[in-house]
């Protein structure tokens, strides 16, 4: 992010072709795909670059995503926009589900029920969002995610239901 003398701010970012990761759905398990993405072997999804999500870790059924709040995340009230927090929650919950899926199987969010408990700002420090699978069946999975600030205060939490479905491998 850059700031000019007249207080105008700008931000430039780049991303890789999202089809690269989508092609891996038929070749690798969700856990293998996520680990390859988080290690840098595969490019991060464009939304991660857009929101400037930083460190991510993954184990089967458990994903942690970090984000340092920045001004470009703000709403008109001077705090992190609820949609940004919701995206962080959806990412962690969805990736936790993804980490349990075999090759050739994908998911999509059916719903996301979010509760905001306190505002987050640039003064909140690094936000840590942990997503956990609560239950997984053949067609749906239930996951939860929780965002805490640098002082371990709960900022928001969510539950998510995900639809599980087969995918056709890319040629």
Least confident of 22-26, 68-72, 160-164: 22-26
Q: Which two tokens stand for residue 72?
A: 């470009």
Q: What Rg, from alpha-carbon coordinates, does the chain have? A: 17
- Over residues 150-165, the mean pLDDT reads 98
Query: What per-residue confidence (pLDDT) applies to 2?
Result: 55
- Over residues 58-77, the mean pLDDT reads 97
- Other Cβ atoms less than 10 A from the Cβ of 61: the count is 17
Domains in the chain, CATH or no CATH each = 18-166 (3.10.129.10)
State the pLDDT confidence band at 54, using cuts at 50, 70 and 90. confident
State the pLDDT confidence band at 20, using cuts at 50, 70 and 90. confident
Write the pLDDT tens digit of every residue in 117-143.
999 999 999 999 999 999 999 999 999
Entry pTM: 0.92
User: Is the pLDDT at 167 greater than 70, yes or no?
Assistant: yes
Query: What per-residue confidence (pLDDT) applies to 25?
Result: 77
Average of per-residue pLDDT values in the chain: 93
The CA angle 153-93-38, to the nearest 5 degrees, is: 95
Query: How many helices and strands in the chain, by DSSP H and E?
Result: 4, 8
Alpha carbons 36 and 21: distance in angstroms, whole number: 10
Write the pLDDT tens digit of every residue in 4-15.
556 788 989 899
**Three-class secondary structure of residue 64 per DSSP:** strand
Are residues 95 and 58 in contact, defined by beta-carbon separation less than 8 angstroms? yes
Query: What per-residue confidence (pLDDT) applies to 38?
Result: 87
For 106, residues 6+ apart whose C-beta sits below 8 A from its C-beta are: 25, 98, 164, 165, 166, 167
Please give the residue that has the higher pLDDT: either 38 or 109: 109
């Amino acid at each position: 992010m850059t700031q000019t003398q007249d207080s105008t701010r700008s931000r430039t970012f780049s991303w890789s072709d999202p089809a690269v990761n989508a092609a891996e759905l038929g070749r690798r398990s969700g856990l293998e795909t996520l680990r390859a993405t988080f290690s840098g072997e595969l490019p991060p999804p464009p939304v991660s670059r857009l929101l400037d999500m930083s460190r991510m870790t993954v184990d089967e059924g458990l994903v942690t995503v970090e984000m340092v709040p920045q001004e470009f995340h703000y709403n008109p009230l001077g705090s992190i926009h609820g949609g940004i927090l919701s995206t962080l929650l959806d990412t962690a919950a969805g990736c936790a589900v993804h980490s349990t899926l075999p090759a050739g199987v994908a998911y999509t969010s059916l719903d996301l029920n979010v509760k905001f408990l306190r505002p987050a700002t640039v003064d909140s420090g690094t936000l840590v969002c942990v997503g956990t699978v609560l239950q997984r069946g053949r067609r749906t999975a239930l996951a939860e995610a929780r965002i805490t600030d640098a002082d371990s205060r709960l900022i928001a939490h969510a539950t998510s239901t995900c639809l599980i479905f087969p995918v056709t491998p890319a040629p």
